[in-house]
Chains A and B, each alone.
Chain A
Amino acid sequence: MDGLGLTGGRLTGRRWAGGIAACSLLLVAAMAVAISVGSISIDFSALGEAGTMRTIFTQLRLPRVILAALVGAALAVAGAALQPTLRNPLASPDIIGVSGGAALAAVSALAFLPLGAFTQTLVPLCAFGGAIGASALVYRLSLINGRLEPYTQILVGVIFNTFAASVILMISALVDLRRSNSIVFWLMGGIAIHPYDVLLVVALFVLVGGALLIRESRSLDLLALGDETAEHLGVDLSRSRRRVFAASSLLVGAVVSLTGIITFVGLIVPHLVRRIFGSDNRLVVPASFFAGAAFLVLCDAAARWVIAPRELPVGAITAMTGGPFFIYLLRRRSGRRDDL
């Protein structure tokens, strides 16, 4: 196995710190850009006193930028950890079933619960439950003789997502127009404005889940050497995969239940980070956390700004930047597969 491609040379403490510092600086810069662009140009000198400007800034703009950062961080760090765990460069957080499960549960709630404000607040909880349930199911179905088998997992995940999509299609065809509208809106996804207490809960999930994945990143490097080699080197494969799986589903479940499905962040950010910093997961996983946050914050700022005062769906921006990159990766990967 070619396994670990040390494109960037050996990972030293200094390189690690440099990489993390660069990515966190990028995040700070991205957030600075994001809070200063939008459909309204905010006069920052007016923020000192109460007034419309301050309200717009604190209640309408800042929460959105914060959510974009949390979501981007969660998706990217989960993607960065799942790609080596499943030994597949195209693995993204969707592959463990969370997105499909969240969508299916949210759509069912929107289709069958009584219409009203209460249902609206219930939907994210249902989506979270669906995400966790689905990833548990996908995990269970991917076990062969009690071990998580990466290829089986990928196939199960893909089939589950396709299955969920078709059930959603069926449900939306059966319900009336009003309900199918709410389904459309959920499926379109996007970074919305949520109250700070909701953001706090999501932040807890993202920070704890992110920390778990970062802690696991050393074993991920060994996993990339192949199951046998990794076991010889003392990695408990099953436990390591289980941890990555569980942490990713909590992390991604928490964010997709609020935002719906946002594609490509979890796929492309880890690859971008690998191009720049080399493939050592001890750096790639935490760096993806910050870079993913920065990427989505910038995409969301672009979504708010490009055709202001109207807005583009953030998913369109991530996919438009992600789509060509995805193709590029596919083309490139056919020649060599080195750096997971």
Chain B
Amino acid sequence: MTELKTFAISRSWAFRAGLGKFLLGLAVTILAAGPAAADSGSDGSRGAAATPSARSESDALAASAPATAPNGGQIVADAAKPKPVAGYVRDLPAQWSRHSGQRWASSAIQRAAPGSPESSFGAKRADGSEVPRRIVSLTPGVTETLFAIGVQKYIVGVSEYCDYPPEAAGIPRVGTFLAPVVEAVAAMEPDLIITSPSPGNKNSVDALERAGMNVAVVTEGSASIADVEQAIREIAKLVGRPLEGEAIVGSIQSKIESVRKRVAGKPRPKTAVVVGHDPLVLAGPKSYLGELVDSGGGRNIAEELGGKWPRTSWEYVVSAAPEVVIDLSMGSEADSGEAAAMWSRYPDVPAVAKNRVYTGGAFLLLHPGPRTDEQAVLISRYLHPAAWTDSD
């Protein structure tokens, strides 16, 4: 009798414990879906991002940057010396791919100093401290910014998700933004590690600092445009190119202003920017995407929900009757058909009825960073196709 009872209880215990674990696991899965969607970006789909706009202002600035480098030669020699990369860290391919990225190829250093020692660009900052020559970037935004600034040749390690510009694919991977592989980072012997604050990487950042590494945690440039700009400025300063940073920020601001002017006075379509389906997450008014909807001439249906990335229900979205839907939940163009099929279930939504559900922009739009100007144009094209021509 006692045995039976014991056994019955232990069985029900197992069931309940299993249930508890299941619930906990469920919570983790649900919660992880959000950041994962934003984090993973996409692989290979170029979306509408393939219009390289020459950033001539910044190039010009870089070319005229002050040239004081008493120690330059030695530092350059250091940087040029191939470092032993032990263990499993992926080796650099013999050559970085060249098929794209004219914009990056034309960046300051390569254009101004082909073959000549780049010491003319200053190996010291204004305050006399040396500028970093072995940089590890742990976020896609930082990597993209370093390329835009023109210091890509000093990047010795990037995160798994650093997929833009395409040349970044050739740089050794040292884990992800949230889970950097600290040993691999340290093995690169970096003189600067740049990342953004996150609860996920806090412990690794602390460990790297304890190990004597120079870790810079810059503003998380993924929330608002002001944050994006702040992050660009901070990164530019860290690598000793503050003017470059200002130039990029200036070009973002002037582009957003010109987009705003172009659509001024036009009727503002109700717009939904969907970041994730499960859970359903919209771009709120305080996120960079929300701000770009505003400057691009749209009315964000998430205005009432507020915040940066509000979660909501399908009922809310359908009843808000958006005239334009920008669905970024699939991350890549290959899967964007799925998102389109999903929307076809709601034929009454004006955006669906008028065939204005855009699903291909994730690769550009989910990469907050120096391409905010391109994002502003793309979103405005979605909202006001008539205001833009192909030559824009």
User: With A193-B207, A308-B87 in contact, do A187 and B27 touch (Cβ < 8 Å)?
Assistant: yes
Cross-chain contact B175 with A311 (CB below 8 angstroms): yes
Q: Nearest B residue to A55 by beta-carbon distance?
A: B211
User: With A56-B183, A89-B10, A192-B203 in contact, do A184 and B35 touch (Cβ < 8 Å)?
Assistant: yes
User: With A52-B187, A158-B17, A330-B14 in contact, do A183 and B182 touch (Cβ < 8 Å)?
Assistant: no
Choice from B27, B90, B204 contacting A169 with Cβ under 8 Å: B27
Q: Nearest A residue to B83 by beta-carbon distance?
A: A52
Q: Which residues of B, 180-232, contact A by the 8 Å Cβ criterion? A: 181-184, 186-187, 189, 198-200, 202-204, 206-208, 210-212
User: With A168-B24, A195-B210 in contact, do A183 and B10 touch (Cβ < 8 Å)?
Assistant: no
Say yes or no: is A204 at the interface (Cβ < 8 Å to chain B): no
Q: How far is the CB of A68 from chain B (nearest CB, A)?
A: 14
Say yes or no: is A112 at the interface (Cβ < 8 Å to chain B): no
Cross-chain contact A52 with B35 (CB below 8 angstroms): no
Q: How far is the CB of A151 from chain B (nearest CB, A)?
A: 5
CA distance A143 to B251 in the complex (A): 70
Say yes or no: is B178 at the interface (Cβ < 8 Å to chain A): yes
Cross-chain contact B308 with A60 (CB below 8 angstroms): no
Choice from B26, B86, B183 contacting A60 with Cβ under 8 Å: B183
CA distance A309 to B90 in the complex (A): 8
In the complex, which range does the number of interface residues on chain A fall in? 35 or more
| Chain A residues whose CB sits within 8 angstroms of the CB of B309 once the complex forms | 176-177
Cross-chain contact B89 with A194 (CB below 8 angstroms): no
| Chain A residues whose CB sits within 8 angstroms of the CB of B189 once the complex forms | 52
User: With A94-B17, A165-B24, A187-B28 in contact, do A310 and B176 touch (Cβ < 8 Å)?
Assistant: yes
Choice from B5, B27, B87, B206 contacting A39 with Cβ under 8 Å: B87
Q: Which residues of A, 36-90, contact B by the 8 Å Cβ criterion? A: 38-43, 52, 55-56, 59-61, 63, 87-90
| Chain B residues whose CB sits within 8 angstroms of the CB of A195 once the complex forms | 206, 210
Choice from A100, A185, A194, A311 contacting B200 with Cβ under 8 Å: A185
User: With A184-B35, A193-B207 in contact, do A39 and B198 touch (Cβ < 8 Å)?
Assistant: no
Q: Nearest A residue to B24 by beta-carbon distance?
A: A165
Cross-chain contact B87 with A151 (CB below 8 angstroms): no
In the complex, which range does the number of interface residues on chain B fall in? 35 or more
User: With A39-B88, A158-B16, A192-B203 in contact, do A56 and B211 touch (Cβ < 8 Å)?
Assistant: yes
CA distance A172 to B10 in the complex (A): 31
| Chain A residues whose CB sits within 8 angstroms of the CB of B199 once the complex forms | 110, 120, 181-182, 185-186
CA distance A188 to B32 in the complex (A): 10
| Chain A residues whose CB sits within 8 angstroms of the CB of B327 once the complex forms | none
Cross-chain contact B307 with A176 (CB below 8 angstroms): yes
Q: How far is the CB of B290 from chain A (nearest CB, A)?
A: 13
| Chain B residues whose CB sits within 8 angstroms of the CB of A180 once the complex forms | 31, 34
Q: How far is the CB of A197 from chain B (nearest CB, A)?
A: 11
Say yes or no: is B7 at the interface (Cβ < 8 Å to chain A): yes
Say yes or no: is B362 at the interface (Cβ < 8 Å to chain A): no
User: With A39-B87, A158-B16, A188-B28 in contact, do A181 and B281 touch (Cβ < 8 Å)?
Assistant: no
Say yes or no: is B23 at the interface (Cβ < 8 Å to chain A): yes
Q: Nearest A residue to B32 by beta-carbon distance?
A: A184
Say yes or no: is B96 at the interface (Cβ < 8 Å to chain A): no
Q: How far is the CB of A79 from chain B (nearest CB, A)?
A: 13
| Chain B residues whose CB sits within 8 angstroms of the CB of A186 once the complex forms | 199
Say yes or no: is A166 at the interface (Cβ < 8 Å to chain B): yes
| Chain B residues whose CB sits within 8 angstroms of the CB of A89 once the complex forms | 10
Q: Encode A136-166 as 1/0 by CB contact (under 8 A) with B.
A: 0000000000000001001100110110011
17 A–B contacts, CB within 8 A, in A order: A38-B87, A39-B87, A39-B89, A41-B87, A52-B189, A90-B14, A151-B9, A158-B16, A165-B24, A177-B309, A181-B198, A192-B207, A309-B89, A309-B173, A309-B174, A309-B184, A310-B176
User: B: which residues have CB within 8 A of A?
Assistant: 2-3, 5-7, 9-10, 13-14, 16-17, 19-21, 23-24, 26-28, 30-32, 34-35, 86-90, 160, 173-176, 178-179, 181-184, 186-187, 189, 198-200, 202-204, 206-208, 210-212, 281, 307-309, 311
The 10 closest A-B pairs by CB, nearest first: A182-B199, A59-B211, A193-B207, A40-B87, A192-B203, A41-B87, A184-B31, A177-B309, A308-B88, A158-B16
Known: A59-B207, A168-B27. 15 other contacts (CB 8 A): A39-B181, A60-B207, A61-B183, A110-B199, A158-B16, A162-B23, A165-B27, A177-B34, A184-B31, A185-B178, A185-B199, A186-B199, A193-B204, A309-B87, A309-B174
